[in-house]
């Protein structure tokens, strides 16, 4: 292609490009005009389409318990310390272990009885000897009394016989007491439970020689436990004897008890006092020393309640969506209180009987239009 033909070619291409660009520009302008002038066929119908399908519920008045939060340890209602009552004797046998349930009077351990039996035999002999001396002294005193009138014995001698008889009687009484003590020590060689309950500790060891007073066992009396709940000083006046309490241990065990008493003294550091709650049957479910949290039930009061699903928490505040005319929702801020099961108390911001969104409330915004259905999914 020569230079003349080449120039003709490029001039032709330039003209075609200019025509194409102009046609595109005309088409774009025409499209904008048509779009802006055409009727809004894609807009939703007047009133707007529902943005969410929800179920509704009503705020209802109920009687709910008034409670006070508390925490503390579960401890034995009463403990018995079983110690050695004989001195310096060897433990010959141990008959129970920790966790065993025992009855009052049941033998828990035995000390060796050889030395104690020998002490009793010696005391028996000493008693017999003292009784013989008493008999002889009394006979002498009686004979002396028979010759009082004859003058064979002086008054001083008669008094001596009488005093000897009284002394022999006292010695016999002392010997009898020593014999009874020796017999008692022999009986104490058998260590028995002072009350029914469960063994919580065993410090005795087979073969150990222990002094009197040494702790051998510890017993939870009658297997009774109590919850020692710490109550704030400001709330103390609200806690009354006979009230109920509900608690839960760290292992998830739930217990119910009765307030038996309240400590008359407040701890000067923690500013709390102890409420003692009886826990019948708790020993079969949990162990002494377990920590528990719970509530002291102080009575009942009226409460405006909703399902917890109907209350939406945002930025630390509670909101509900009240159904308005035209199936639109209005967001209201509410204050909440107690919780029982799956329901929550509304303390302010909502009137009784108000119809609010329940399922699906968490996805709503103020002013949204909703489609209300029943719990089974059918439209209302």
Q: 219, 242, 259: which is the final residue of a domain? A: 219
The per-residue pLDDT for range 222-247, each reduced to its tens digit, is: 999 999 999 999 998 889 999 999 99
Q: Please tell me whether residues 148 and 22 are part of one structural domain.
A: no
261 domain residue, yes or no: yes
Considering the domain architecture, whether residues 58 and 113 belong to the same structural domain is answered as no
Establish if 248 belongs to a structural domain: yes
Tell me what pLDDT residue 75 has: 95
Contact 320, 312 (CB under 8 A): yes
Arithmetic mean of pLDDT, 157-168:
88
In angstroms, the CA 187 to CA 89 distance is 13
Q: Is 202 found in the same domain as 165?
A: yes
Residue 346: partners with Cβ closer than 8 Å, 6 or more residues away:
59, 304, 305, 306, 311, 320, 334, 335, 336, 337
Give yes or no for a contact between 228 and 276, defined as CB atoms under 8 angstroms apart. yes
Q: Measured between alpha carbons, how far is 82 from 192 in angstroms, rounded to an integer?
A: 8
* Structural domain harbouring 262: 69-77+224-300
Structural domain includes residue 154: yes
Residue range 256-278, pLDDT digits in tens: 999 999 999 999 999 999 999 99
pLDDT on residue 45: 35
Residue 23 has pLDDT above 60, yes or no: no
Q: What is the pLDDT of residues 328-354, one digit of tens each?
A: 999 999 999 988 889 999 999 999 999
Q: What pLDDT sits at residue 16? A: 35
Q: What average pLDDT does this structure show over 300-314?
A: 93
Residue 56: band (very low, low, confident or very high) from pLDDT cuts 50, 70, 90: very high
Provide the 3-class DSSP secondary structure of residue 239.
coil
**Is the domain of 36 the same as that of 3?**
yes
User: Residue 363: pLDDT above 50?
Assistant: yes
Q: What is the CATH number for 346?
A: 2.40.420.20
Angle at 131 between CA 125 and CA 134, to 5 degrees: 145
Predicted confidence at residue 140, as pLDDT, reads 87
For the segment 106-123, the average pLDDT, to the nearest whole number, is: 95
Q: Look at residue 4 and tell me whether its pLDDT is greater than 70.
A: no
The count of other CB atoms within 10 Å of the CB of residue 317 is 12
pLDDT of amino acid 47: 52
- Statement to judge: residues 88 and 161 lie in one domain: yes
Q: How confident is the model at residue 21 (pLDDT cuts 50, 70, 90)?
A: very low
Are 160 and 219 in contact by the 8 Å Cβ rule? The answer is: no
Has residue 23 been placed in a domain?
yes
- Which letter does DSSP use for residue 105 in this model? T
Angstrom distance (rounded) from CA 216 to CA 164: 47
Same domain, 278 and 309: no
Lowest mean per-residue pLDDT among 34-43, 57-66, 96-105: 34-43
Q: Identify whether residues 276 and 230 lie together within a single domain.
A: yes
- What is the per-residue pLDDT for 340? 86
Q: Are strands 225-232 and 60-76 parallel, antiparallel or unpaired?
A: antiparallel
More confident residue, 173 or 51: 173
pTM of the model: 0.62
At residue 34, the pLDDT reads 32
Number of domains composing the chain: 4
- Is the pLDDT at 8 greater than 50, yes or no? no
pLDDT band at 380 (very low <50, low <70, confident <90, very high): low
240 or 143, greater pLDDT: 240
d(CA 304, CA 311): 13
Least confident window among 25-29, 178-182, 255-259: 25-29
Host H or E run for residue 379? none
Model pLDDT, residue 30: 36
Question: Quick one: average pLDDT of 86-103?
Answer: 95
Q: What is the pLDDT of residue 375?
A: 66
Provide the CB-side half-sphere exposure for 308 (13 A, CA): 8
Which of 161, 152, 292, 314 minimizes the C-alpha distance to 225?
292
Cα angle 100, 104, 107; round to 5:
65
Across the chain, what does the average pLDDT equal? 85
């Amino acid at each position: 292609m020569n230079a003349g033909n080449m120039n003709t070619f490029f001039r032709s291409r330039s003209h075609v490009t200019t025509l194409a660009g102009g046609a595109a520009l005309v088409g774009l302008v025409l499209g904008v005009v048509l779009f802006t002038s055409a009727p809004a066929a894609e807009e939703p119908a007047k009133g707007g389409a529902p943005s969410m399908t929800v179920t509704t519920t009503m705020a209802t008045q109920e009687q709910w318990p008034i409670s006070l939060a508390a925490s503390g340890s579960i401890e034995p209602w009463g403990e018995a310390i079983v110690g050695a009552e004989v001195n310096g004797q060897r433990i010959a046998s141990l008959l129970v272990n920790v966790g065993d349930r025992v009855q009052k009077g049941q033998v828990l351990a035995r000390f060796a009885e050889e030395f104690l039996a020998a002490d009793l035999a010696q005391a028996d002999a000493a008693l017999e000897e003292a009784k013989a001396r008493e008999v002889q002294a009394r006979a002498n005193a009686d004979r002396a009394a028979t010759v009082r009138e004859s003058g064979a014995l002086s008054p001083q001698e008669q008094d001596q016989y009488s005093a000897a008889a009284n002394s022999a009687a006292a010695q016999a009484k002392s010997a009898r007491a020593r014999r009874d003590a020796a017999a008692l020590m022999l009986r104490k060689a058998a260590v028995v439970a002072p009350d029914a309950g469960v063994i919580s500790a065993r410090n005795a060891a087979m073969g150990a020689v222990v002094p009197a007073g040494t702790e051998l066992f510890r017993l939870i009396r009658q297997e009774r436990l109590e919850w020692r709940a710490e109550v704030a000083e400001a709330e103390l006046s609200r806690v009354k004897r006979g009230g109920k309490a509900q608690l839960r241990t760290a292992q998830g065990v739930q217990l119910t008890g009765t307030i038996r008493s309240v400590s008359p003294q407040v701890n000067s550091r923690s500013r709390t006092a102890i409420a003692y709650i009886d826990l019948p049957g708790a020993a079969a479910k949990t162990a002494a020393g377990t920590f528990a949290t719970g509530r002291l039930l102080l009575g009942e009061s009226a409460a405006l309640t909703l399902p917890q699903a109907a209350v939406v928490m945002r930025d630390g505040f509670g909101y509900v969506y009240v159904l308005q005319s035209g199936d639109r929702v209005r967001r209201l801020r509410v204050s909440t209180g107690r919780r029982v099961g799956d329901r929550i108390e509304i303390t302010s911001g909502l009137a009784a009987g108000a119809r609010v969104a329940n399922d699906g409330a968490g996805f709503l915004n103020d002013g949204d239009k909703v489609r209300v259905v029943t719990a089974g999914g059918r439209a209302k």
